[in-house]
Amino acid sequence: MKEILKRIVLSFSLSSFAGLITNLLIDAGVNASGNSGFISIAPEFMSLFPTPVIAGYVNVLIYGIIGASYAGMTFIFDCRRIGVIIQWCIYFCVTFGICMTITIFVWQLHRYPQAFISTVMGYSVTYAIIGVVQYRKLKDDIRVINENLSRNE
């Protein structure tokens, strides 16, 4: 449990920092190109807060929450009684639910059906690619372990 909490705190910190830097670079780049006053936060999201600064802080906090949820859900892979495919499905469903809920809130995706659909598809395709790569790696690791065991017999 202690290890998972460390992962959550680290991931929260890294995700928040990466989100802050990303927003800073986007804002600086767009403002430098002549679009002064640009802030990389959806106007609908910004209108939920009394000032743009508070909206920005909440946005960074949300980046951290997304990262923490990804790290926190890794505990599912430590459950030895659950098969790998079921672990992946649980991990996908929970992290997808958290990520999409936050994304809908931040980007107001319920107002833009095309953006919602493309976000769902992008997330799903990305996760599928990562899952296939990791599954292949797992199979290779098992093959190597089995080869080493058969040599030692």
Residues 67 and 42 sit within 8 Å (Cβ to Cβ): no
Query: Which residue range is the domain that position 121 belongs to?
Result: 2-152
Give residue 65's pLDDT band: very low, low, confident or very high (50, 70, 90).
very high
If one counts the domains in the chain, the total is 1
Secondary structure (DSSP) of 37-93: T--SS-HHHHTTSSSHHHHHHHHHHHHHHHHHHHHHGGGGGG-TTS-HHHHHHHHHH
Q: What pLDDT digit, counting tens, does each position of 84-123 carry?
A: 889 888 988 999 899 888 888 777 777 778 878 888 888 8
